[in-house]
Amino acid sequence: MLKTTKLRVKDLEGFKLGDIIAQGTTKNEPGGLNLTGSGGSLYWAAFKEEGQGWAVYATTLDIGVIYLRHWGTKVIADDNIKAVAPCTAAALRLYDRKTPGSR
């Protein structure tokens, strides 16, 4: 898990494919991680992806962090990414925006 308050490229080098970088819960509304705007809680986790990439996945279901990478929704909007996983501009450039199945 990430030990700094802001994810840096240097931090990404210490994780292997599939490792959990950070995780938590937040509100599903503006000001939180606004995926559907329906209120309630969202469960999210940031995972190390291939190469230097990383990605955040979220869901309204409490399915367990291990399942988020396969069953959650990949977060794409910069504001939503930074709302749950504060990062440097350089780390954000490495964010994996490919949709599942497009690899």
pLDDT tens per residue across span 10-29: 999 999 999 999 999 988 88
* Rounded alpha-carbon distances, angstroms, from residue 58 to 2, 44, 68, 103: 18, 4, 6, 20
- Residue 103, in any domain of the structure: no
pLDDT tens per residue across span 29-45: 877 787 777 778 899 99
- Residue 98, in any domain of the structure: no
Instruction: Report the pLDDT value the prediction gives residue 3, as an integer from 0 to 100.
Output: 65
For the question of whether the overall pTM of this predicted structure is more than 0.85, the answer is yes
- Residue 4, in any domain of the structure: no
For the residues 43-58, what does the mean pLDDT come to?
94
* Rounded alpha-carbon distances, angstroms, from residue 48 to 11, 32, 34, 86, 95: 11, 22, 22, 15, 9
Mean of all residue pLDDT scores within the chain = 87
Structural domain that includes position 73: 9-93
Provide the domain count of the chain.
1
